[in-house]
Structure 1
Amino acid sequence: MTTLALDGADVWYEQHGSGGDVVISSASGFGPYPRVLAEPPYRCTVVTVQARGFGRSTHLARPPAAGWLDQWGDDVLAVADHLGIDSFVYTGVSHGAGIGWHLARHHPERLRALVSVVGAPHDRTGDTSSSAGRRRIVEGRRDPAVVEEQFRVLGGPTEGKERLALREETVRALVARNLTYSEEEATVNQGMPFPEARTNEEVARILETIDVPVLSLAGMRDGVISPDAALRAATRVPGCKSVLFQDEGHFVAQERPARLAREVRLFLDELAGYEEDGGQWR
Protein backbone atom coordinates (compact mmCIF):
# COMPACT_ATOMS: atom_id res chain seq x y z
CA MET A 1 0.00 0.00 0.00
CA THR A 2 1.23 3.47 -0.92
CA THR A 3 0.26 7.10 -0.43
CA LEU A 4 0.60 9.41 -3.44
CA ALA A 5 1.03 13.14 -2.79
CA LEU A 6 -1.29 15.13 -5.08
CA ASP A 7 -2.36 18.75 -5.24
CA GLY A 8 -4.18 19.47 -1.98
CA ALA A 9 -4.26 15.91 -0.67
CA ASP A 10 -2.46 12.63 -0.20
CA VAL A 11 -4.29 9.70 -1.80
CA TRP A 12 -3.84 6.12 -0.63
CA TYR A 13 -3.86 3.25 -3.09
CA GLU A 14 -3.11 -0.46 -3.08
CA GLN A 15 -2.38 -3.00 -5.81
CA HIS A 16 -3.72 -6.57 -5.77
CA GLY A 17 -2.67 -9.35 -8.11
CA SER A 18 -0.72 -9.18 -11.35
CA GLY A 19 -3.04 -10.44 -14.09
CA GLY A 20 -3.36 -9.16 -17.62
CA ASP A 21 -6.52 -7.05 -17.29
CA VAL A 22 -5.86 -3.88 -15.29
CA VAL A 23 -8.84 -2.79 -13.21
CA ILE A 24 -8.90 0.41 -11.15
CA SER A 25 -11.55 1.29 -8.58
CA SER A 26 -12.08 4.19 -6.20
CA ALA A 27 -14.39 4.59 -3.20
CA SER A 28 -14.55 5.79 0.37
CA GLY A 29 -13.69 2.24 1.42
CA PHE A 30 -13.61 -1.29 0.05
CA GLY A 31 -15.21 -4.62 0.83
CA PRO A 32 -14.46 -7.89 -1.00
CA TYR A 33 -15.30 -6.37 -4.41
CA PRO A 34 -13.33 -5.48 -6.52
CA ARG A 35 -10.35 -7.15 -4.82
CA VAL A 36 -11.90 -10.53 -5.58
CA LEU A 37 -11.08 -9.86 -9.25
CA ALA A 38 -7.37 -10.31 -8.44
CA GLU A 39 -7.97 -13.88 -7.27
CA PRO A 40 -8.30 -17.09 -9.34
CA PRO A 41 -10.12 -17.67 -11.62
CA TYR A 42 -10.50 -13.96 -12.47
CA ARG A 43 -6.78 -13.04 -12.32
CA CYS A 44 -6.85 -9.28 -12.89
CA THR A 45 -4.46 -6.63 -11.66
CA VAL A 46 -6.63 -4.56 -9.33
CA VAL A 47 -5.72 -1.10 -8.03
CA THR A 48 -7.94 0.31 -5.30
CA VAL A 49 -7.80 4.06 -4.66
CA GLN A 50 -9.26 5.43 -1.44
CA ALA A 51 -11.14 8.60 -2.32
CA ARG A 52 -9.65 11.78 -0.89
CA GLY A 53 -11.69 12.79 2.14
CA PHE A 54 -11.75 9.27 3.60
CA GLY A 55 -9.65 6.78 5.50
CA ARG A 56 -5.91 6.93 4.84
CA SER A 57 -6.35 9.61 2.19
CA THR A 58 -6.39 13.26 3.33
CA HIS A 59 -9.58 14.40 5.03
CA LEU A 60 -10.96 17.68 3.73
CA ALA A 61 -12.76 20.42 5.64
CA ARG A 62 -14.63 21.54 2.51
CA PRO A 63 -15.56 20.03 -0.85
CA PRO A 64 -13.02 20.24 -3.68
CA ALA A 65 -13.54 23.10 -6.11
CA ALA A 66 -14.09 20.61 -8.94
CA GLY A 67 -16.79 18.75 -6.98
CA TRP A 68 -16.30 15.39 -5.29
CA LEU A 69 -16.92 13.06 -8.23
CA ASP A 70 -14.78 14.94 -10.73
CA GLN A 71 -11.98 15.38 -8.18
CA TRP A 72 -12.05 11.68 -7.35
CA GLY A 73 -11.91 10.93 -11.07
CA ASP A 74 -8.87 13.17 -11.47
CA ASP A 75 -7.24 11.36 -8.55
CA VAL A 76 -7.82 8.00 -10.24
CA LEU A 77 -6.08 9.29 -13.37
CA ALA A 78 -3.20 10.64 -11.27
CA VAL A 79 -2.68 7.22 -9.67
CA ALA A 80 -2.86 5.55 -13.10
CA ASP A 81 -0.29 8.00 -14.45
CA HIS A 82 1.95 7.38 -11.45
CA LEU A 83 1.81 3.64 -12.11
CA GLY A 84 2.35 4.05 -15.85
CA ILE A 85 -1.13 2.77 -16.73
CA ASP A 86 -2.36 4.39 -19.95
CA SER A 87 -5.65 2.54 -20.32
CA PHE A 88 -7.67 0.53 -17.82
CA VAL A 89 -11.04 -0.91 -16.93
CA TYR A 90 -12.68 1.20 -14.26
CA THR A 91 -15.15 -0.39 -11.87
CA GLY A 92 -16.93 1.18 -8.94
CA VAL A 93 -19.81 0.53 -6.58
CA SER A 94 -22.48 3.14 -5.84
CA HIS A 95 -20.63 6.48 -5.43
CA GLY A 96 -17.56 4.69 -6.80
CA ALA A 97 -19.51 3.97 -9.98
CA GLY A 98 -20.38 7.67 -10.15
CA ILE A 99 -16.65 8.34 -10.47
CA GLY A 100 -16.58 5.97 -13.42
CA TRP A 101 -19.44 7.70 -15.20
CA HIS A 102 -17.57 11.00 -14.90
CA LEU A 103 -14.42 9.38 -16.30
CA ALA A 104 -16.37 7.81 -19.16
CA ARG A 105 -17.85 11.19 -20.05
CA HIS A 106 -14.79 13.41 -19.67
CA HIS A 107 -11.83 11.05 -20.22
CA PRO A 108 -13.06 8.20 -22.47
CA GLU A 109 -9.59 7.88 -24.03
CA ARG A 110 -8.30 6.46 -20.72
CA LEU A 111 -10.92 3.75 -20.28
CA ARG A 112 -10.97 0.35 -21.92
CA ALA A 113 -14.38 -0.03 -20.34
CA LEU A 114 -16.60 0.98 -17.42
CA VAL A 115 -18.11 -1.60 -15.09
CA SER A 116 -20.79 0.18 -13.05
CA VAL A 117 -22.11 -1.69 -10.00
CA VAL A 118 -25.40 -0.39 -8.55
CA GLY A 119 -24.34 3.02 -9.81
CA ALA A 120 -26.34 4.06 -12.88
CA PRO A 121 -26.98 7.83 -12.82
CA HIS A 122 -29.90 8.57 -10.53
CA ASP A 123 -33.47 9.59 -11.24
CA ARG A 124 -34.07 13.32 -11.16
CA THR A 125 -37.59 12.85 -9.82
CA GLY A 126 -38.66 11.70 -6.36
CA ASP A 127 -36.30 11.42 -3.40
CA THR A 128 -34.51 8.14 -4.03
CA SER A 129 -31.07 9.41 -4.98
CA SER A 130 -27.97 8.68 -2.98
CA SER A 131 -27.60 12.40 -2.30
CA ALA A 132 -30.92 12.37 -0.41
CA GLY A 133 -30.02 9.28 1.60
CA ARG A 134 -26.53 10.60 2.20
CA ARG A 135 -27.99 13.93 3.34
CA ARG A 136 -30.06 12.17 5.99
CA ILE A 137 -27.03 10.20 7.16
CA VAL A 138 -24.98 13.40 7.34
CA GLU A 139 -27.69 15.12 9.38
CA GLY A 140 -27.96 12.18 11.82
CA ARG A 141 -24.33 11.10 11.60
CA ARG A 142 -23.86 10.54 15.34
CA ASP A 143 -27.20 8.82 15.89
CA PRO A 144 -26.92 5.04 15.32
CA ALA A 145 -30.68 4.67 14.84
CA VAL A 146 -30.79 7.28 12.05
CA VAL A 147 -27.76 5.84 10.28
CA GLU A 148 -29.10 2.29 10.54
CA GLU A 149 -32.52 3.30 9.24
CA GLN A 150 -31.02 4.88 6.13
CA PHE A 151 -28.81 1.90 5.37
CA ARG A 152 -31.82 -0.40 5.62
CA VAL A 153 -33.65 1.81 3.13
CA LEU A 154 -30.67 1.93 0.79
CA GLY A 155 -30.13 -1.82 0.86
CA GLY A 156 -33.65 -2.68 -0.23
CA PRO A 157 -35.69 -5.73 0.77
CA THR A 158 -34.35 -9.28 1.04
CA GLU A 159 -35.60 -12.57 2.46
CA GLY A 160 -34.49 -16.05 3.46
CA LYS A 161 -32.67 -17.03 6.61
CA GLU A 162 -29.13 -16.82 5.21
CA ARG A 163 -29.69 -13.61 3.28
CA LEU A 164 -31.38 -11.90 6.21
CA ALA A 165 -28.49 -12.86 8.48
CA LEU A 166 -26.00 -11.54 5.93
CA ARG A 167 -27.97 -8.29 5.60
CA GLU A 168 -27.86 -7.81 9.36
CA GLU A 169 -24.08 -8.20 9.30
CA THR A 170 -23.79 -5.82 6.35
CA VAL A 171 -25.85 -3.12 8.05
CA ARG A 172 -24.04 -3.61 11.36
CA ALA A 173 -20.65 -3.15 9.69
CA LEU A 174 -21.77 -0.09 7.72
CA VAL A 175 -23.23 1.60 10.78
CA ALA A 176 -20.12 0.85 12.84
CA ARG A 177 -17.85 2.27 10.14
CA ASN A 178 -19.91 5.43 9.75
CA LEU A 179 -19.99 6.07 13.48
CA THR A 180 -16.17 6.02 13.58
CA TYR A 181 -15.83 8.57 10.77
CA SER A 182 -14.07 11.82 11.52
CA GLU A 183 -16.25 14.91 11.24
CA GLU A 184 -14.73 15.62 7.82
CA GLU A 185 -15.54 12.12 6.57
CA ALA A 186 -19.02 12.11 8.07
CA THR A 187 -20.08 15.32 6.31
CA VAL A 188 -19.05 14.41 2.76
CA ASN A 189 -22.04 14.40 0.40
CA GLN A 190 -20.82 13.55 -3.08
CA GLY A 191 -24.11 14.24 -4.84
CA MET A 192 -24.98 12.41 -8.03
CA PRO A 193 -23.40 11.95 -11.44
CA PHE A 194 -24.14 14.68 -13.99
CA PRO A 195 -25.53 17.22 -11.49
CA GLU A 196 -26.24 19.73 -14.26
CA ALA A 197 -28.93 17.39 -15.64
CA ARG A 198 -32.22 18.51 -14.13
CA THR A 199 -34.55 15.96 -15.72
CA ASN A 200 -34.41 12.27 -16.54
CA GLU A 201 -34.43 13.12 -20.25
CA GLU A 202 -31.37 15.33 -19.77
CA VAL A 203 -29.64 12.43 -18.02
CA ALA A 204 -30.60 10.18 -20.93
CA ARG A 205 -29.12 12.59 -23.46
CA ILE A 206 -25.80 12.59 -21.58
CA LEU A 207 -25.85 8.78 -21.42
CA GLU A 208 -26.24 8.70 -25.20
CA THR A 209 -22.85 10.44 -25.52
CA ILE A 210 -20.90 7.81 -23.53
CA ASP A 211 -18.33 6.36 -25.92
CA VAL A 212 -16.73 3.49 -24.00
CA PRO A 213 -17.86 -0.12 -23.54
CA VAL A 214 -20.08 -0.33 -20.46
CA LEU A 215 -21.21 -3.21 -18.26
CA SER A 216 -23.94 -2.14 -15.85
CA LEU A 217 -24.68 -4.48 -12.96
CA ALA A 218 -27.86 -3.52 -11.12
CA GLY A 219 -30.10 -4.86 -8.37
CA MET A 220 -33.83 -4.51 -8.92
CA ARG A 221 -34.40 -4.24 -5.15
CA ASP A 222 -31.96 -1.34 -4.81
CA GLY A 223 -33.19 1.43 -2.50
CA VAL A 224 -30.89 3.99 -4.18
CA ILE A 225 -30.81 3.23 -7.91
CA SER A 226 -34.31 2.59 -9.18
CA PRO A 227 -35.10 -0.01 -11.85
CA ASP A 228 -36.00 2.92 -14.12
CA ALA A 229 -32.53 4.42 -13.64
CA ALA A 230 -30.89 1.07 -14.37
CA LEU A 231 -33.02 0.60 -17.49
CA ARG A 232 -32.24 4.14 -18.62
CA ALA A 233 -28.54 3.26 -18.70
CA ALA A 234 -29.31 -0.08 -20.36
CA THR A 235 -31.31 1.52 -23.18
CA ARG A 236 -29.52 4.83 -23.75
CA VAL A 237 -25.79 4.06 -23.43
CA PRO A 238 -24.62 2.87 -26.88
CA GLY A 239 -23.67 -0.81 -26.78
CA CYS A 240 -24.26 -1.10 -23.03
CA LYS A 241 -24.47 -4.59 -21.60
CA SER A 242 -26.68 -4.74 -18.52
CA VAL A 243 -27.22 -7.51 -16.02
CA LEU A 244 -30.28 -6.94 -13.84
CA PHE A 245 -30.49 -9.08 -10.71
CA GLN A 246 -34.11 -9.34 -9.60
CA ASP A 247 -33.16 -10.61 -6.14
CA GLU A 248 -30.32 -8.20 -5.32
CA GLY A 249 -30.18 -4.74 -3.80
CA HIS A 250 -27.67 -1.98 -3.21
CA PHE A 251 -25.32 -4.16 -1.13
CA VAL A 252 -24.70 -6.88 -3.71
CA ALA A 253 -20.97 -6.04 -3.90
CA GLN A 254 -20.59 -6.63 -0.18
CA GLU A 255 -22.94 -9.59 0.11
CA ARG A 256 -22.29 -11.54 -3.11
CA PRO A 257 -19.05 -10.33 -4.70
CA ALA A 258 -18.40 -13.57 -6.59
CA ARG A 259 -21.72 -13.18 -8.39
CA LEU A 260 -20.48 -9.87 -9.76
CA ALA A 261 -16.97 -11.14 -10.47
CA ARG A 262 -18.27 -13.90 -12.73
CA GLU A 263 -20.12 -11.33 -14.85
CA VAL A 264 -17.07 -9.07 -14.97
CA ARG A 265 -14.79 -11.92 -16.09
CA LEU A 266 -17.23 -12.83 -18.89
CA PHE A 267 -17.41 -9.18 -19.95
CA LEU A 268 -13.62 -8.83 -20.00
CA ASP A 269 -13.37 -11.90 -22.23
CA GLU A 270 -16.00 -10.38 -24.53
CA LEU A 271 -14.14 -7.04 -24.41
CA ALA A 272 -10.98 -8.69 -25.73
CA GLY A 273 -12.92 -9.96 -28.74
CA TYR A 274 -14.51 -6.53 -29.21
CA GLU A 275 -11.08 -4.92 -29.34
CA GLU A 276 -9.67 -7.57 -31.71
CA ASP A 277 -12.60 -7.00 -34.06
CA GLY A 278 -12.12 -3.23 -34.20
CA GLY A 279 -14.99 -2.23 -31.96
CA GLN A 280 -17.53 -4.89 -32.97
CA TRP A 281 -19.09 -7.24 -30.43
CA ARG A 282 -18.89 -10.89 -31.40
Structure 2
Amino acid sequence: MTDTGQPSTAIARAQDSTALACQRMGDGYPLVLLAGQANNHHWWDRVRADFHATHSTITFDMRGTGGSGKPQGPYSTKQFADDVVAVLDHLSIERADVYGTSMGGRVAQWVAARHPARVRRLVLGCTSPGGPHAVERDASVRRALAQADPEAARRALTDLMYTPAWLADHPGPYTTLGDPDMPAHARHGHLVASNGHDAWDALQGITAPTLLLHGDQDRLTPPDNLPLLAARIPRTTSHVFPGARHAYFEECRAEASALVSAFLDEGP
Protein backbone atom coordinates (compact mmCIF):
# COMPACT_ATOMS: atom_id res chain seq x y z
CA MET A 1 0.00 0.00 0.00
CA THR A 2 1.41 3.38 -0.96
CA ASP A 3 1.14 6.55 1.09
CA THR A 4 -1.09 8.78 -1.01
CA GLY A 5 -1.97 11.11 1.85
CA GLN A 6 -5.33 9.42 2.46
CA PRO A 7 -5.78 6.17 4.38
CA SER A 8 -7.70 3.25 3.01
CA THR A 9 -10.69 2.38 5.17
CA ALA A 10 -12.39 -0.85 6.13
CA ILE A 11 -15.02 -2.12 8.55
CA ALA A 12 -14.04 -4.87 10.96
CA ARG A 13 -16.46 -6.61 13.30
CA ALA A 14 -16.02 -6.94 17.05
CA GLN A 15 -16.90 -10.12 18.94
CA ASP A 16 -20.36 -8.69 19.57
CA SER A 17 -20.67 -7.68 15.88
CA THR A 18 -20.18 -3.97 16.55
CA ALA A 19 -18.78 -2.27 13.43
CA LEU A 20 -15.20 -1.01 13.85
CA ALA A 21 -14.03 1.54 11.27
CA CYS A 22 -10.29 1.14 10.67
CA GLN A 23 -7.86 3.10 8.52
CA ARG A 24 -4.52 2.03 7.04
CA MET A 25 -1.87 4.19 5.40
CA GLY A 26 1.66 3.63 4.14
CA ASP A 27 3.87 0.61 3.53
CA GLY A 28 6.02 -1.43 5.84
CA TYR A 29 5.65 -3.20 9.15
CA PRO A 30 2.25 -2.52 10.77
CA LEU A 31 2.06 0.06 13.56
CA VAL A 32 -1.25 0.32 15.43
CA LEU A 33 -1.94 3.82 16.79
CA LEU A 34 -4.47 4.05 19.64
CA ALA A 35 -6.13 7.36 20.48
CA GLY A 36 -7.19 8.93 23.75
CA GLN A 37 -10.54 8.86 25.49
CA ALA A 38 -13.57 10.01 23.48
CA ASN A 39 -11.45 10.67 20.38
CA ASN A 40 -11.56 9.13 16.93
CA HIS A 41 -8.64 8.27 14.66
CA HIS A 42 -8.03 11.94 13.79
CA TRP A 43 -6.12 12.16 17.10
CA TRP A 44 -3.12 10.98 15.05
CA ASP A 45 -3.53 13.23 12.02
CA ARG A 46 -0.54 15.48 12.74
CA VAL A 47 2.01 12.73 13.37
CA ARG A 48 1.10 9.44 11.69
CA ALA A 49 3.06 10.26 8.52
CA ASP A 50 6.25 10.47 10.63
CA PHE A 51 6.32 6.66 10.74
CA HIS A 52 5.70 5.86 7.09
CA ALA A 53 9.37 5.56 6.15
CA THR A 54 9.37 2.13 7.80
CA HIS A 55 5.80 1.35 8.83
CA SER A 56 2.23 1.28 7.66
CA THR A 57 -0.02 2.92 10.25
CA ILE A 58 -3.31 1.43 11.37
CA THR A 59 -5.83 3.48 13.30
CA PHE A 60 -9.41 2.72 14.18
CA ASP A 61 -12.36 4.50 15.65
CA MET A 62 -12.96 2.91 19.03
CA ARG A 63 -16.56 1.89 19.56
CA GLY A 64 -18.58 4.98 20.32
CA THR A 65 -16.52 7.22 18.03
CA GLY A 66 -16.13 8.14 14.36
CA GLY A 67 -17.42 5.64 11.85
CA SER A 68 -17.66 2.76 14.35
CA GLY A 69 -20.81 1.48 15.99
CA LYS A 70 -22.06 3.22 19.10
CA PRO A 71 -23.74 0.58 21.26
CA GLN A 72 -25.12 1.46 24.66
CA GLY A 73 -22.31 -0.31 26.52
CA PRO A 74 -20.95 -0.89 29.06
CA TYR A 75 -17.47 -0.12 27.68
CA SER A 76 -14.10 -1.13 29.14
CA THR A 77 -10.44 -0.91 28.20
CA LYS A 78 -10.34 -4.72 28.00
CA GLN A 79 -13.19 -4.60 25.49
CA PHE A 80 -11.39 -1.93 23.47
CA ALA A 81 -8.31 -4.20 23.45
CA ASP A 82 -10.39 -7.09 22.11
CA ASP A 83 -11.62 -4.70 19.42
CA VAL A 84 -7.99 -3.98 18.46
CA VAL A 85 -7.42 -7.70 17.96
CA ALA A 86 -10.58 -7.91 15.85
CA VAL A 87 -9.17 -5.15 13.62
CA LEU A 88 -5.84 -6.99 13.29
CA ASP A 89 -7.69 -10.19 12.38
CA HIS A 90 -9.77 -8.37 9.78
CA LEU A 91 -6.62 -6.91 8.21
CA SER A 92 -4.85 -10.32 8.35
CA ILE A 93 -2.10 -8.89 10.58
CA GLU A 94 -0.58 -11.55 12.81
CA ARG A 95 1.83 -9.26 14.68
CA ALA A 96 2.27 -5.50 14.92
CA ASP A 97 3.93 -2.71 16.83
CA VAL A 98 1.47 -0.87 19.08
CA TYR A 99 1.63 2.79 20.18
CA GLY A 100 -1.08 4.00 22.53
CA THR A 101 -1.42 7.39 24.21
CA SER A 102 -3.64 8.43 27.12
CA MET A 103 -6.59 6.00 27.27
CA GLY A 104 -5.13 4.42 24.14
CA GLY A 105 -2.12 3.56 26.29
CA ARG A 106 -4.41 1.82 28.77
CA VAL A 107 -5.93 -0.16 25.93
CA ALA A 108 -2.46 -0.99 24.59
CA GLN A 109 -1.50 -2.43 27.99
CA TRP A 110 -4.28 -4.99 27.70
CA VAL A 111 -3.46 -5.81 24.08
CA ALA A 112 0.15 -6.56 25.04
CA ALA A 113 -0.70 -8.38 28.27
CA ARG A 114 -3.57 -10.52 26.96
CA HIS A 115 -2.31 -11.10 23.41
CA PRO A 116 1.51 -11.13 23.70
CA ALA A 117 1.99 -12.99 20.44
CA ARG A 118 0.33 -10.13 18.56
CA VAL A 119 2.65 -7.33 19.81
CA ARG A 120 6.27 -7.03 18.67
CA ARG A 121 7.11 -3.66 20.30
CA LEU A 122 5.00 -1.46 22.56
CA VAL A 123 4.99 2.31 23.10
CA LEU A 124 2.95 3.77 25.97
CA GLY A 125 2.56 7.54 26.11
CA CYS A 126 1.02 9.84 28.74
CA THR A 127 -0.80 6.96 30.39
CA SER A 128 -1.12 5.11 33.68
CA PRO A 129 -1.68 1.61 35.09
CA GLY A 130 -5.03 2.70 36.51
CA GLY A 131 -6.59 1.41 39.70
CA PRO A 132 -5.52 2.19 43.26
CA HIS A 133 -1.82 2.22 42.38
CA ALA A 134 -2.11 5.01 39.80
CA VAL A 135 -1.38 8.68 40.48
CA GLU A 136 -4.61 10.46 39.65
CA ARG A 137 -5.15 14.01 38.38
CA ASP A 138 -5.97 16.48 41.12
CA ALA A 139 -9.45 17.68 41.97
CA SER A 140 -8.96 21.08 40.32
CA VAL A 141 -8.38 19.38 36.96
CA ARG A 142 -11.53 17.30 37.36
CA ARG A 143 -13.55 20.40 38.23
CA ALA A 144 -12.20 22.31 35.23
CA LEU A 145 -13.16 19.52 32.84
CA ALA A 146 -16.61 19.11 34.40
CA GLN A 147 -17.68 22.75 33.96
CA ALA A 148 -21.24 23.19 32.77
CA ASP A 149 -20.13 25.68 30.12
CA PRO A 150 -18.83 23.52 27.24
CA GLU A 151 -16.60 26.27 25.87
CA ALA A 152 -14.97 26.79 29.26
CA ALA A 153 -14.41 23.05 29.60
CA ARG A 154 -12.90 22.94 26.11
CA ARG A 155 -10.52 25.79 26.95
CA ALA A 156 -9.49 23.95 30.10
CA LEU A 157 -8.83 20.77 28.12
CA THR A 158 -6.82 22.66 25.51
CA ASP A 159 -4.67 24.13 28.28
CA LEU A 160 -4.07 20.66 29.71
CA MET A 161 -3.03 19.33 26.32
CA TYR A 162 -0.70 22.12 25.10
CA THR A 163 1.46 24.93 26.46
CA PRO A 164 0.46 28.53 25.69
CA ALA A 165 3.64 29.02 23.65
CA TRP A 166 2.83 26.09 21.36
CA LEU A 167 -0.78 27.18 20.98
CA ALA A 168 0.36 30.66 19.93
CA ASP A 169 2.29 29.17 17.02
CA HIS A 170 -0.29 26.48 16.17
CA PRO A 171 -3.74 28.08 16.05
CA GLY A 172 -5.55 24.83 15.23
CA PRO A 173 -7.91 23.26 14.62
CA TYR A 174 -6.95 20.60 17.15
CA THR A 175 -7.99 16.99 16.66
CA THR A 176 -7.25 15.81 20.21
CA LEU A 177 -10.10 17.51 22.08
CA GLY A 178 -12.74 14.85 21.60
CA ASP A 179 -14.98 13.55 18.84
CA PRO A 180 -17.67 16.24 18.50
CA ASP A 181 -20.18 13.77 17.06
CA MET A 182 -20.14 11.24 19.90
CA PRO A 183 -23.53 10.59 21.48
CA ALA A 184 -23.74 11.28 25.20
CA HIS A 185 -23.99 7.61 26.18
CA ALA A 186 -20.80 6.77 24.31
CA ARG A 187 -18.91 9.72 25.79
CA HIS A 188 -19.96 8.57 29.24
CA GLY A 189 -18.99 5.00 28.36
CA HIS A 190 -15.48 6.09 27.44
CA LEU A 191 -15.16 8.00 30.72
CA VAL A 192 -16.27 4.95 32.70
CA ALA A 193 -13.90 2.70 30.75
CA SER A 194 -10.90 4.93 31.33
CA ASN A 195 -11.70 5.51 35.01
CA GLY A 196 -12.26 1.79 35.54
CA HIS A 197 -8.95 0.71 34.03
CA ASP A 198 -6.69 -1.34 36.31
CA ALA A 199 -3.97 -3.38 34.61
CA TRP A 200 -1.60 -3.46 37.60
CA ASP A 201 -1.63 -7.23 38.04
CA ALA A 202 -1.30 -7.86 34.29
CA LEU A 203 1.61 -5.52 33.54
CA GLN A 204 4.28 -8.00 34.62
CA GLY A 205 3.03 -10.34 31.90
CA ILE A 206 3.91 -7.93 29.08
CA THR A 207 6.73 -9.52 27.10
CA ALA A 208 7.21 -6.92 24.37
CA PRO A 209 10.04 -4.39 24.72
CA THR A 210 8.30 -1.21 25.85
CA LEU A 211 9.04 2.49 25.46
CA LEU A 212 7.42 4.83 28.01
CA LEU A 213 6.94 8.52 27.14
CA HIS A 214 5.51 11.41 29.15
CA GLY A 215 5.54 15.19 29.41
CA ASP A 216 6.79 16.42 32.77
CA GLN A 217 4.07 19.10 32.96
CA ASP A 218 1.18 16.69 32.28
CA ARG A 219 -1.63 17.39 34.77
CA LEU A 220 -4.19 15.26 32.92
CA THR A 221 -2.20 12.07 33.55
CA PRO A 222 0.54 12.96 36.03
CA PRO A 223 4.08 11.93 35.02
CA ASP A 224 4.57 10.05 38.30
CA ASN A 225 2.71 7.22 36.55
CA LEU A 226 5.69 6.61 34.26
CA PRO A 227 7.98 5.13 36.94
CA LEU A 228 5.10 2.99 38.18
CA LEU A 229 4.75 1.46 34.72
CA ALA A 230 8.52 1.11 34.41
CA ALA A 231 8.68 -0.84 37.67
CA ARG A 232 5.94 -3.27 36.61
CA ILE A 233 6.68 -3.93 32.93
CA PRO A 234 9.78 -6.13 32.56
CA ARG A 235 11.60 -4.58 29.57
CA THR A 236 11.21 -0.81 29.49
CA THR A 237 12.99 2.30 28.28
CA SER A 238 11.71 5.72 29.38
CA HIS A 239 11.88 9.32 28.23
CA VAL A 240 10.35 12.45 29.74
CA PHE A 241 9.86 15.64 27.71
CA PRO A 242 10.69 18.77 29.72
CA GLY A 243 7.97 21.41 29.65
CA ALA A 244 5.48 19.25 27.74
CA ARG A 245 1.87 18.64 28.70
CA HIS A 246 -0.46 15.79 27.75
CA ALA A 247 -0.09 16.08 23.96
CA TYR A 248 3.71 15.74 24.00
CA PHE A 249 3.47 13.72 20.76
CA GLU A 250 2.36 16.88 18.92
CA GLU A 251 4.14 19.60 20.86
CA CYS A 252 7.45 17.67 20.89
CA ARG A 253 6.69 16.00 17.57
CA ALA A 254 10.19 16.00 16.05
CA GLU A 255 11.84 14.50 19.11
CA ALA A 256 9.00 12.18 20.07
CA SER A 257 8.48 10.71 16.61
CA ALA A 258 12.23 10.22 16.19
CA LEU A 259 12.44 8.40 19.53
CA VAL A 260 9.51 6.15 18.66
CA SER A 261 10.88 5.41 15.19
CA ALA A 262 14.33 4.56 16.54
CA PHE A 263 12.82 2.29 19.18
CA LEU A 264 10.62 0.48 16.68
CA ASP A 265 13.51 0.07 14.26
CA GLU A 266 15.41 -1.89 16.93
CA GLY A 267 12.96 -4.78 16.43
CA PRO A 268 12.25 -7.62 16.50
TM-score of the pair, normalised by structure 1: 0.76
Q: Does 1:149 align with 2:156?
A: yes
Deviates more, 1:107-116 or 1:254-263: 254-263
Q: How does 1:1-282 map onto structure 2 within 5 Å?
A: 1-6=9-14, 7-19=16-28, 21-27=29-35, 28-29=39-40, 30-32=43-45, 35-39=48-52, 42-64=53-75, 68-122=76-130, 124=132, 127-128=136-137, 133=142, 137=145, 140=147, 143-152=150-159, 154-155=160-161, 158=163, 160=165, 163-166=166-169, 169=172, 174=176, 177=178, 179-188=180-189, 189=191, 190-192=193-195, 194-195=197-198, 203=200, 206-272=202-268
- Pick closer, same or farther for the CA change 1:225–1:127 going to 2, 3 Å: closer
Is the 1:141–1:178 contact (alpha carbons within 8 Å) kept by the matching residues of 2? no
Deviation at 1:103, TM superposition (A): 1.1
- Pick closer, same or farther for the CA change 1:91–1:173 going to 2, 3 Å: closer
Deviation at 1:192, TM superposition (A): 4.3
Is the 2:241–2:248 contact (alpha carbons within 8 Å) kept by the matching residues of 1? no
Deviation at 1:115, TM superposition (A): 0.7
- Pick closer, same or farther for the CA change 1:179–1:126 going to 2, 3 Å: same
Question: Could you tell me how far apart the structure 1 residues matched to 2:217 and 2:22 are?
Answer: 32
Secondary structure of residue in 1 paired with 2:44? coil
The number of residues matched between the two structures is: 250
State the 4+ residue runs in structure 1 displaced beyond 4 angstroms: 139-142, 172-175, 177-180
Question: Could you tell me how far apart the structure 2 residues matched to 1:61 and 1:93 are?
Answer: 24
Question: Could you tell me how far apart the structure 2 residues matched to 1:212 and 1:193 are?
Answer: 24
Deviation at 1:126, TM superposition (A): 6.3
- Pick closer, same or farther for the CA change 1:167–1:236 going to 2, 3 Å: farther
Residue type at the aligned position of 1:75:
D
Which runs of 5 or more residues in structure 2 are unaligned?
Answer: 1-8
Question: Could you tell me how far apart the structure 1 residues matched to 2:187 and 2:136 are?
Answer: 21
- Pick closer, same or farther for the CA change 1:237–1:167 going to 2, 3 Å: farther
Of all paired residues, the percent bearing the same amino acid is 24
Deviation at 1:82, TM superposition (A): 1.4
- Aligned-CA RMSD value: 3.0
Which runs of 5 or more residues in structure 1 are unaligned?
Answer: 198-202, 273-282
- Pick closer, same or farther for the CA change 1:207–1:166 going to 2, 3 Å: farther
Provide Cα deviations, 1:75-99, integer angstroms capped at 9, x if missing partner: 1111111111111111111111111
Residue type at the aligned position of 2:126:
V
Secondary structure of residue in 2 paired with 1:271? coil
Residue type at the aligned position of 2:218:
D
- Pick closer, same or farther for the CA change 1:89–1:149 going to 2, 3 Å: same
Provide Cα deviations, 1:213-252, integer angstroms capped at 9, x if missing partner: 1011111111122222112223332120111111211012
